[in-house]
Every structure is written in structure tokens, then in C-alpha cells.
Amino acid sequence: MSEEFLQNPLSLFDVRGKSAIVTGATGAFGTVAAKTLAAAGANVVVAASNTDGLKAIAAECRKLGGKAEVVAKRPTSEANCDAIIKAAVDGFGGVDILVVASGQNKVSKIVDQKPEDFLDVMDANVTQSWLIARACARQMIRQGRGGKIVLMSSARGLLGHPAGYSAYCASKSAVDGITKALGCELGATGITVNALGPTVFRSPLTEWMFADDARGKTVRAGFLTRVPKGRLGEPEDLAGPLLFLASKASDFYTGHVLYADGGYTAG
């Protein structure tokens, strides 16, 4: 163990001056990811389809001390992914960190779900993750200084669900497969590829589970019997794991899903 490390072990988590991209930056986790990285000193490209929302998040990132660029595009095509990468290269000199915080779910029992809805979920969660990871890996390899790719998994990539999650569970299992495959494929390049796997955390899609009405209380009480920490998650609960995966601290950690789930998948 080096003397330099012993004198400043917190330097392992230092992302000051790094260039980061956050897709899905207007979502609950994407907002926390962008603000966490900016507050830690990184420069951030925020990407999503909501221009006004992106401008507001970029302004908050700047107040926290980081530079910020806005790209009002989702990673739905090679052209869009190239535009997102270009913004980071032009604005900040390259790409060091990618956080894929975008995605969606369309809940429906399989006997009722339309094939196009299944394909929409797979496109948003799998194909778009693959496309932006591909564009980012190309740029990182050209730079020759390694990098960090963080995908968005879920406890539902590991566990099933009885309430119409066949598309979502399939998509997150696929994200896990991409994470493991790219962890192996890119390991020798200095690029780490990992995923965050939360369980239920507060967002517009899950706000009903936090409500104090009869439905929210009933579903929440049943769910929490499986969560050792005894509460639902908050977006902020993902900030620490994200900083680990985005920093030098995780240099020997790749191809893994880090479950930030209050112990849900341990039971």
C-alpha cells in the first residue's frame, strides 16, 4: 500500500475535473446523479428529451461548482449518441464517466400486453443502454485513459414480480448481461462497466407507494416485510454507490451489479 494512499485515502473517490455524461438526467435518479457528480467537481453533460428540465438541472449543477452542457436528445440512435458524446468532447475534452439513468416500464400482464409495448421497454432499457455504452466505449478507447460506465439495473433483473413486469424484468436481466459481457470485453482497456441495482425508490412512477392512502399503506407494508432496512429507498441512497462506481475506488470492480436495495435481494 502506497504512502500517498495512506495520506489521503479519500482521493480514491475524487472525480474533480472529470467529464461525465448522464442520460435520463431529468428523472429521479438522473437528477441525483448529475448533481452528485457536479458537487464532487465533475463537469457534466445532461441528456434527455425535456429541454426545459435539462436547463434547470444544468443550472443547479453549475451552482454546485461543476460545468454543465445540455443535449436535448435521448440515446435512441447512433446519431443521437454521437451528438451526446460530441458535447462532452467539445465542452470538456473527452468522456471519463457515463451514467445511464434513462429507462421506462409499462406494467401489464403478459396476456394483455401489446407486443409494441414490450418492445418499447426493451428499446428504452436495453437497446439505448447498449447504443450509448458503445459510443462511449469507442471514445474512451480513443482517449486511452480508461473510464467508467455505469448502467441502470434493478432488483427486478434478478427477481421476478407477479404484477405484470415481464417486459421490465426481461429488460433489466438483459442490462445485467450487457454489464457482465462488457466488463469482460473492456476490462483490459482500463474501462470498468458496472450497474446499479436499486429496488423501489421515490420517483414519479413510484410515488403512490409512498402515499399515506389505503393503497399505498397496504402495498408498502407488504413490500417492507422483505426489506431489512425497513423503508423504501430515496434517490439519494444511490449517490454513494454511484460515486464509488464513477471513481478510482472501483478500478478493480467491473462486470458487477451493485444492489443498493436496503437488503431486499439478500433475503
How is the chain split into domains, by residue range?
3-198+236-259, 205-232
What predicted TM-score, i.e. pTM, was given to this entire model?
Answer: 0.95
* Catalytically annotated residues: 168
What pLDDT, on a 0 to 100 scale, did the predictor assign at position 239?
95
CATH code for residues 3-198+236-259: 3.40.50.720
Maximal CA-CA distance, the chain: 62
What pLDDT, on a 0 to 100 scale, did the predictor assign at position 205?
78
How far apart CA 191 and CA 199 sit, in angstroms, is 26
Residue 190's closest CA among 232, 240, 140, 225? 140
What does the DSSP assignment read for 25-64?
A: TTSHHHHHHHHHHHHTT-EEEEE-S-HHHHHHHHHHHHHT
Tens-of-pLDDT digits for all 267 residues of the chain?
667 677 788 899 999 999 999 999 999 999 999 999 999 999 999 999 999 999 999 999 999 999 999 999 999 999 999 999 999 999 999 999 999 998 888 989 999 999 999 999 999 999 999 999 999 999 999 999 999 999 999 988 888 887 788 999 999 999 999 999 999 999 999 999 999 999 988 888 788 889 999 998 998 999 899 999 999 999 899 999 999 999 999 999 999 999 999 999 997
Alpha-carbon torsion, ordered 114, 119, 121, 123, to 10 deg = -160
**Looking at the DSSP assignment, which residues form a beta bridge with residue 45?**
21, 69
Q: Residue 12: enclosing H or E segment and its boundaries?
A: none
Residue 97 phi, psi dihedral angles, 5° rounding = -140, 130
Over its C-alpha atoms, the chain yields an Rg (Å, rounded) of: 18
What pLDDT, on a 0 to 100 scale, did the predictor assign at position 1?
61
Whole-angstrom distance between the N-terminal and C-terminal Cα of the chain?
A: 36
CA distance readout (Å), 254 to 12, 51, 79, 203, 261: 16, 33, 28, 28, 19
What pLDDT, on a 0 to 100 scale, did the predictor assign at position 102?
86
Buried b (16+ CB within 10 A) or exposed e, 47-64: bbeeeebbeebbebbeeb
